[in-house]
Chains A and B, each alone.
Chain A
């Protein structure tokens, strides 16, 4: 128990640092902004109650907001992602349901399941985030394009990290 909390804490810190120090600074062509920190919400153990997930999501978004100087955008987008997590999990549940207390990881439930899970949450998060950022519906399709391109990169990063996390 203590061990898994420590390991999870380490992943959280690493993901935050990756986001703040590296990914917030790449600024590639103005279209690609991967927000990999959303993985913190993805891999929270399934035993954590929903209200605690909400609070963790909010705090995660808040920290990212403070470091990227954006008022409340990441907080509200991450919160929505955290809120929709139980519904997404129920929607894509494997045939035998979830084993209680198991890690929500690629190692346990397979690549296909994890890919659908990650893609759904990332799309929810990025859609909210990018529309809150422009705060207007002008240039609707360009925003959609930005969402898709950035989501693609975020999902790629998450799958890559998850692949290596599996080795532990």
Chain B
């Protein structure tokens, strides 16, 4: 017994170290997809309050720019209404149309926590399940891709940012329709990489890259960025660097897009596999 005690006393440091390091690494390997992490979930109530205050103070600094964006988006929408209403004869009749079903729902949310300097960036927004948000909804800035929601609590949601090494998105070149896989290489927060575009295709700088809508998360044709550099790598594919439309460093308000037909599509696809 005495020997055991002596042994414990002698190696107490290493034992404490290994024990605590074990806890930390267990948390790291199991909780890395963020929404799985129970501890983070439990503490979110505490830290979110503070984060919300910080973001409140910060949002004052860029009000002018947000206003400018809103005004331009308003006028774009007004133009669209004008076009649509002119075509219909402005009769006050509502028709139950059983052929047309709305596919996407939109809402807005404020970004209360965001980062661009890590290798795995996430952003937190101030709406959650109580406001109807769900996992796997798309997050956009206007019409441009920002990320995908991976976890929701009552009033908050965490979205995986495009600037995350684990983020994959199917994207295509608007001019010719060829699609590849978009990811972030962790280097520059303004650039992403488009892979799997075969080399027999003409790609030129300035081409627009947009979403394909295959994943049933983003609507088809949401903007991602423009081609800024095309390189031939050793394989048969180009390595295309894309300058992103969204500037993640000054992200304040985002749109959240829910796909109402997503479950139907996934069900069918799973049935056939």
Contact A33 B21 (CB under 8 A): no
A72 lies within 8 A of B20 (CB) = no
CA A102 to CA B48, docked complex, whole Å: 40
Stretch at the interface among A7-15, A118-126, A132-140: A132-140
B232 within 8 A of A: no
Query: Is B120 a contact partner of A83 (Cβ separation < 8 A)?
Result: no
Please provide the chain A residues from 54 to 94 with a CB less than 8 Å away from any CB of chain B in the complex. Answer: 54-55, 58, 61, 66-73, 75-76, 79-80, 83, 86
Nearest-neighbour CB distance to chain A for B112, whole angstroms, equals 12
Distance of A82 from chain B, by nearest CB (Å): 8
B21-A30 in contact (CB<8A): no
A21 CA / B39 CA spacing, docked (Å): 21
B39 / chain A contacts, CB cutoff of 8 Å: 66, 71
Give the shortest distance, in Å, between A80 (CB) and chain B (any CB): 7
| 0/1 string, B9-44, CB within 8 A of A gives 1 | 000110011001101111110111010010110010
Contacts of B24 in A (CB 8 A): 58, 61, 72, 75-76, 79
Total interface residues on A, using CB and 8 Å?
36
> Is the pair B165, A134 in contact by a Cβ cutoff of 8 Å?
yes
Given A58-B24, A71-B40, A76-B21: A133 and B120 within 8 A (CB)?
A: yes
Question: Which residue from chain B places its CB closest to the CB of A84 in the assembled complex?
Answer: B17
> Is B119 on the interface with A (CB-CB < 8 A)?
yes
Partner of B16 from A31, A33, A55, A72 at Cβ < 8 Å: A55
B13 pairs with A66, CB closer than 8 A: no
Per-residue A-contact encoding for B80-123, CB less than 8 Å = 1, 0 else: 00000000000000000000000000000000010111111010
CB atoms of A139 and B186 under 8 A apart: yes
Q: Report whether A27 and B116 are in contact in the complex, using a CB–CB cutoff of 8 Å.
A: yes
Name the one of A30, A67, A71 contacting B117, with C-beta atoms under 8 angstroms: A30
Please tell me if the beta carbons of B249 and A27 are within 8 angstroms of each other in the complex: yes
Question: 13 pairs across A/B with beta carbons < 8 Å?
Answer: A21-B54, A27-B115, A51-B13, A58-B24, A66-B39, A66-B46, A69-B158, A71-B27, A72-B27, A75-B20, A76-B21, A79-B17, A139-B185
